[in-house]
A and B are shown apart, each in its own frame.
Chain A
Amino acid sequence: MRTGGGWEEVEFNSREPVYLQVVRHFKEMIVAGRLEAGQVIPSRRELGTLLKINPNTAQRSYKEMEERKLIVTEGNSPSRITQDDAVLRAIRAELLGEAVDAFVSAVRKVDVPVEELLDLVKSKYIEALSSSPADVAAEGGAERP
């Protein structure tokens, strides 16, 4: 099964539950467009091998994602990413909110007028986008057999 990129580079933090880090990785792949709404995701067993985690942890991650309606499993067919727009929008808002919170708390240590900060963020962000524009486009939406 082709799963596209993005599974190999997961680095786990040893102080946070692994299953929650896996859920977070799924959310990041969804907002980056590497996993699309309705896309079939690896089986629990395949995920264990891909992320080099214990099958129990893979199982627990999927249970958590099912409870949060991130993925849906109907009968015996493979699990898929949800097509529920409200859920997908909420994930995006959640990750964006967290990233901005982290940025704000880091930048608060420096005394800077908001206009100057916004200009700086804008130019850095444009620079970042132009240096790796293919990141999302090339790896997203992997075709499958």
Chain B
Amino acid sequence: MIELKGVRKRYRGRYVLNGLSFTAEKGNITCLIGMNGAGKSTVMKAIMGLVPVKEGQILVNGKPRGRWIYEKISFVPDHLTMPLSMKMSEGLTFMADFYASWNAERAAELMRFFRLEPGEKIGNLSKGTAAKYNLVLGLAPNSDYVLMDEPFSGIDLFSREMIADVFSSDLIEERGVLLTTHEIGEVEHLIDKAVILQNGKAEMEFDCETMRSEEGKSIVDVMREVYSR
């Protein structure tokens, strides 16, 4: 379990995260929903240690986060961070050198799943193809958790559908997924749990099927209620 407890993060004189608490469990797909600027990416970076957090706690499997989490959690940022001169196949080798948890077999399976051409140069990829390759890099390691920042943002419909298909495939297996989105459309039926982020806090944290069966509300219905408060 990834657990945030009262996390506060100040950025340019404003608390972007202001007492944020929520959990993301293994075996579940958790979606962090928020408007642009709500702090979704900051949450991801805070978990990964890419921005320092002085107030509050971030626990992974019950222990405070540290360097050891890089073998347990993989992070798919909203842009590719690989050297653009490399071919996709070279990028995979590059990752294998860095991560003990790298699973080359799964990487090859993912390349086939997304129909990617290993010989193509990373710098020449279209936005949709780059997003798919980015997911290959994030899903290939044997990590317990995968964080994905806006995996559907700014790419064409068919690429979005292909990416959504990952969530119902066994490529996710028993792992925990935490993804952010400002557009719930694609994933409404795929996610287990939603966390609605507003004013630096988790305004709502709920199990989607329970919400549907007990209150007959869709995730969008709940979002509308939260934002109209």
Contacts and interface: CB of A to CB of B under 8 A. Distances in A.
Contacts of B218: 14-15
A57 B172 CA distance: 14
Nearest to B213: A17
Given A54-B29, A55-B168, A56-B27, A12 B213 contact: no
A20 B213 contact: yes
Contacts of B220: 14
A48 B189 CA distance: 11
Contact of B212 (A16, A45, A48): A16
A60 B168 contact: no
Interface residues of A, number: 19
A51 interface: yes
B221 interface: yes
B188 interface: yes
How extensive is the interface on chain B, given as a class?
20 to 34
B73 interface: no
B28 interface: yes
Contacts, number: 54
Contacts of B190: 52-54
B189 A16 contact: no
B28 A56 contact: yes
Contacts of B225: none
A17 B168 contact: no
Nearest to A54: B190
B88 to A, nearest CB: 25
20 contacts: A14-B218, A15-B212, A15-B218, A17-B209, A17-B213, A20-B213, A45-B170, A51-B168, A52-B164, A52-B189, A54-B29, A54-B167, A54-B168, A54-B191, A54-B192, A55-B172, A56-B27, A56-B192, A57-B189, A57-B209
Interface of B: 27-29, 164-165, 167-170, 172, 188-192, 209, 212-213, 216-221
